[in-house]
């Protein structure tokens, strides 16, 4: 037999990740614990230094027993030499006295063990190997368990954390947010029910239950599954922690990060400005740039600079947001440019005027949705693909790149222009089904005209540019360690056929 086709794509990606600490926020019942058990068996069965012990922790005895039975099933299918499942008492070191925890163990001929516990030991002293914390959001004293588990990394090993969500305030959700924000150098996976179905989860269920697959059957099964979870479906299936809606940035956080800097706003001098001859329009905007922008640009310190632009034409503003890295490594906004009803060619003219004069200009990120694609493409043609990122801000993009902005604002490592309209734009960012985004509804600025979170969009693009095009990017790299333990495991993780 071979196992090349056993794992679904998201399961293969999970096992292929060899980071020393990896986290997964997941839907229920998508087979992640099942594939984790397979990898744990291969690790415990590997000979010599290629193998290590596995300590599995969850919150429920039935779940623990199911995991250890799954490990036994995999061991038999891999033809690994191992003993029967042994039940014993794991004694936890407790300040109030020893506490016994019911546990299960499989011993392998390699000399390594898989130990599964139905509670959460606070002390893992003297242990070494891989720690798997399953349904971490429901584990008691998770902070203490993580502290003990992470201490093992000094001696090698790995910490694997996977769970569905259990509320926005839960430590597991905070851990996911910290990883997204770059506060923790771990890897993070997110597997929703919809994504799992899209990668053939239901087809695999049909295969195992000997049921014929059909599109109609899959649609009915998805509908039935969502109906079963009812109001809890978003949390249980879609990786959205409960109470996951509301303002994304606190007003106190936004205002604490604000500093007085020039806000340069341009609007056409006449209603028919767009119909003026090219030379007249260019001359008009050139004069404005010299009068308003030039002196500001000349006074900037000689520090690395980036730019983010959110595009707007008739209704929404175009906002060009520069950032500079200061001596203390914070990102400061030296000025802001807002353009209302500005023709395409003049937006390009102002953008180029700024980028050509920013000290040590290192790169820019531009909104490439809709008509913004023209500006983004023109910038790429002028400055090169190595300095310009054309951004399609999908939900996945927002989920990845808003948390670092939030983290830097909370740490006051990102400084904003002190302006009421900018503050309201940033406050307009909402968490919708767990995703930071700007709702469709528009607000009114101080001039009585419509805004659509334009400054907020430019801010996240500028922050993204500063991270992507940073002169030294080491601080943004994920710290991973460890390799595959033997040829069998490499083939398993890569999805290649491995005979057994």
| Residue pLDDT, tens place only, 341-383 | 999 999 999 999 999 999 999 999 999 998 899 999 999 999 9
Report the C-alpha gap between 104 and 60 in whole angstroms: 13
Number of domains observed in the structure of the chain: 2
Does residue 286 sit in the same domain as residue 172?
A: no
For 302-313, write each residue's pLDDT tens digit.
999 999 999 988
Does residue 167 sit in the same domain as residue 25?
A: yes
Does residue 441 sit in the same domain as residue 490?
A: no
The CATH number of whichever domain residue 100 belongs to comes to 3.40.50.300
| Domain ranges, residue 441 | 247-476
Does residue 472 sit in the same domain as residue 488?
A: no
User: Buried (b) or exposed (e) across 279-314, using 16+ Cβ within 10 A?
Assistant: eebeebbeebbeebbeebbeebeeebbbbbbbbbbe
How does the average pLDDT of the chain come out, rounded? 87
pLDDT of 227 higher than 50: yes
Q: Residue 96: its pLDDT value, please? A: 54
User: Buried (b) or exposed (e) across 383-415, using 16+ Cβ within 10 A?
Assistant: beeebbbbbebeeeebbebbbbbbbbbbeebbb
Q: Residue 432: its pLDDT value, please? A: 81
Predicted TM-score (pTM) above 0.85: no
For 63-106, write each residue's pLDDT tens digit.
999 999 999 999 988 887 777 788 887 776 665 555 677 889 99
The CATH number of whichever domain residue 251 belongs to comes to 3.30.420.240
- When pLDDT is averaged across residues 426-445 and rounded to a whole number, the result is 84
Greatest pairwise CA separation for the chain in angstroms: 87
In a domain, 193, yes or no: no
Does residue 130 sit in the same domain as residue 155?
A: yes
**Helix, strand, or coil here: 245?**
coil
**255 falls in which pLDDT band (50, 70, 90)?**
very high
Half-sphere CA count of 498, side-chain side, radius 13 A: 18
96 φ, ψ (degrees, to nearest 5): -100, 15
Does residue 431 sit in the same domain as residue 299?
A: yes
Does residue 112 sit in the same domain as residue 159?
A: yes
């Amino acid at each position: 037999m071979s196992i090349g086709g056993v794992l679904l794509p998201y399961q293969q990606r999970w096992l292929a990740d060899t980071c020393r600490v990896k986290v997964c926020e997941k839907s229920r019942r998508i087979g992640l614990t099942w594939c984790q058990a397979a990898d744990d068996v291969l690790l415990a069965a590997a000979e010599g230094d290629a193998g290590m012990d596995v300590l599995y922790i969850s919150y429920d005895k039935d779940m623990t027993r199911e995991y250890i039975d799954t490990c036994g099933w995999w061991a038999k299918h891999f033809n690994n030499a191992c003993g029967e499942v042994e039940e014993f008492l794991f004694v936890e070191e407790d300040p109030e006295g020893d506490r016994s925890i019911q546990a299960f163990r499989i011993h392998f001929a390699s000399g390594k063990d898989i130990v599964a516990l139905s509670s959460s030991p606070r002390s893992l002293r003297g242990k070494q190997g891989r720690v798997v914390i399953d349904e971490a959001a429901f584990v008691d004293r998770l902070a203490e368990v993580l502290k003990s588990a992470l201490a093992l990394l000094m001696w090698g090993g790995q910490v694997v954390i996977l769970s569905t969500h259990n509320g926005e305030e839960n430590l597991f959700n905070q851990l996911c947010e910290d990883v997204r924000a770059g506060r923790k150098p771990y890897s993070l996976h997110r597997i929703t029910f919809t994504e799992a179905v899209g990668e053939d989860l239901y087809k695999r269920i049909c295969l195992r239950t000997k049921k014929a697959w059909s599109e109609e059957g899959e649609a009915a099964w998805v509908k039935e599954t969502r109906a079963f979870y009812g109001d809890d479906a978003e949390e249980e299936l879609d990786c959205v922690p409960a109470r996951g809606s509301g303002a994304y940035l606190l007003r106190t956080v936004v205002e604490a990060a604000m500093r007085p800097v020039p806000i340069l706003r341009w609007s056409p001098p006449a209603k028919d400005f767009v119909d003026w001859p090219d030379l007249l329009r260019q001359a008009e905007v050139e004069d404005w740039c010299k009068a308003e922008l030039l002196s500001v640009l000349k006074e900037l310190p000689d520090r690395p600079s980036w730019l983010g632009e959110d595009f707007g034409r008739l209704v929404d503003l175009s906002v060009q947001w520069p950032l500079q890295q200061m001596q203390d490594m914070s990102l400061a906004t030296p000025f802001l440019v807002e353009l209302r009803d500005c023709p395409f060619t003049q937006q390009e003219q102002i953008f180029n005027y700024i980028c050509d004069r920013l000290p040590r200009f290192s790169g820019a990120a531009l909104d490439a949705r809709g008509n913004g694609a023209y500006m983004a493409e023109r910038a790429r043609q002028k400055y090169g693909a190595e300095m310009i990122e054309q951004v399609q801000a999908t939900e996945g993009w927002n989920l990845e790149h808003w948390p670092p902005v939030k983290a830097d604002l909370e740490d006051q490592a990102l400084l904003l222009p002190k302006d009421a309209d900018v503050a309201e734009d940033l406050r307009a960012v909402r968490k919708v089904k767990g995703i930071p985004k700007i709702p469709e509804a528009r607000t009114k600025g101080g001039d009585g005209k419509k805004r659509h979170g334009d400054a907020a969009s430019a801010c996240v693009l500028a922050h993204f540019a500063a991270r992507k095009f940073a002169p030294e990017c080491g601080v943004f790299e994920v710290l991973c360690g460890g390799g595959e333990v033997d040829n069998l495991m490499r083939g398993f993780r890569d999805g290649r056929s491995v005979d057994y």
